[in-house]
Amino acid sequence: MSLLRAWTTLLWLSFRRLLWSGNTLMVLLPLSACTLFLLRRQFWKQANSFESFNGFSLFLMFVFASFVVPICAVAYGTASIGGDREDRTLLFLLIRPVPRPLIFIAKFFATLPLVLGLVMGAFYLYCRLGGAIGQEAYNLYLPAIFYMTIAYVSLFHFFAVSFRHSTIIALIYSLFMELLLGNMPGIVKRVAINYYGRSMMYAAGVPAGLERPDPQWFEPISAAASAGALFGIAVGGLLVALVVFQRREYTDLT
C-alpha cells in the first residue's frame, strides 16, 4: 500500500509540475497564433465548400499536425524526466524505494493525459471555429491526431532518458529532421512520424474532397498501415525508453 501511495504521489506531483511550468506558456503561444489565424481566414465563410475544406485540411495537416502537435509533445515529453535530470532531482527519485520502471511509468502517465488533453482540446476548438467543414474535418482526422500524439510522447520520453539535453535534441528533430525525412523521396520518409500521420489524413480526407498529393513528392500508404506504424512507434518507443531508464547509470547527476 505504501508503494502504491508513493507511486500515485509521484504521478500527481509530476503532473502538477508539468502543468504549472514555463512549458505551458511556451505551447500556448503557437496555439494562440493558430486561433488568430483561423479567425482571420474564416474558412466557414468561403463560398466554395470544397476549396474551404481543402484549405482547412491543409492547415490541419501542415501547421497543426506537423508543428503544433510535436511542439506540445516536446514541451512535456522531454520535461517529465529531462526536467528532473537537469534540476538534479532525478537522483533523489532514484534513491527512493520505488522501482525504476514504476518511476518511468508514473512520469509517462503524468505526461500523456496532459499532452493529449492540450492537443485534443485545441483540435476540437479549431474544428469548431471551422464551422461545418471543421466538424467534418474533426471526424475524419481525429484518429490521425491521436495516434501521432501518443507516438511523439513515447519517442520524446526515449530522448529524455537517453540524452542529456533532450529538449534541444527533440526540438531539432521535430522541427527539422521530421520535415526533412517526411518529405524525402523513397522509403526514407517512413522513419518519420509525420509521414504516417499525413498518410492517415490523406486516406480520410481525399474521399471527402481533399486534394490528392502529387505522387512524385508524396505517396501515402493506407490508413490501417499508418495507424499500425504509429501504434508500433508508440509502444516500441515506450518499451525501449523503459529498458534504457532501467539499465542506464546517470553519472552526470553527481
pLDDT in tens, 13-24: 999 999 988 889
**Which set of grid coordinates corresponds to residue 222?**
493506407
Q: How far apart are CA 254 and CA 57, in angstroms?
A: 49
* pLDDT score of 237 more than 60: yes
Give me the chain's average pLDDT, please: 89
Q: Concatenate the DSSP letters of all residues of 71-140 into one string.
A: HHHHHHHTHHHHHHHHHT-HHHHHTSSS-HHHHHHHHHHHHHHHHHHHHHHHHHHHHHHTHHHHHHHHHH
Q: How far apart are CA 145 and CA 202, in angstroms?
A: 12
* pLDDT score of 73 more than 90: yes
How high is the pLDDT of residue 128? Answer: 92
Place 131 in a pLDDT band, splitting at 50, 70 and 90.
confident
pTM: 0.92
Task: Please state, in angstroms and as integers, the Cα–Cα distance from residue 95 to each residue in 27, 29, 100, 107, 196, following that order.
Answer: 33, 37, 10, 16, 40
Per-residue pLDDT tens over the stretch 88-115: 788 888 888 889 999 999 999 999 999 9
Segment among 41-45, 116-120, 221-225 with least mean pLDDT: 41-45
Answer whether 81's CB lies under 8 Å from 157's CB.
yes
What is the percent of the chain with per-residue pLDDT over 70, rounded to a whole number?
98
Mean pLDDT, residues 69-83: 90
* pLDDT score of 215 more than 90: no
Per-residue pLDDT tens over the stretch 151-203: 999 999 999 999 888 888 988 988 888 877 777 777 777 788 999 999 999 99
Q: How far apart are CA 156 and CA 75, in angstroms?
A: 9
Q: With b meaning 16 or more CB within 10 Å and e meaning fewer, what string describes 218-234?
A: bebbebeebbebbeebb
How high is the pLDDT of residue 217? Answer: 77
Q: With b meaning 16 or more CB within 10 Å and e meaning fewer, what string describes 111-137?
A: bbebbbebbeebbeebbebbbebbebb
Q: At what angle do helices 69-77 and 193-205 cross, to 10 degrees?
A: 140
Instruction: Please give the helix or strand (H or E) that residue 35 lies within, else none.
Output: helix 22-41
Answer whether 141's CB lies under 8 Å from 60's CB.
yes
Q: How far apart are CA 112 and CA 118, in angstroms?
A: 10
How high is the pLDDT of residue 48? Answer: 78
Cell 484518429, located at residue: 143
Nearest-CA neighbor of 14 among 74, 90, 73? Answer: 90
Place 254 in a pLDDT band, splitting at 50, 70 and 90.
low
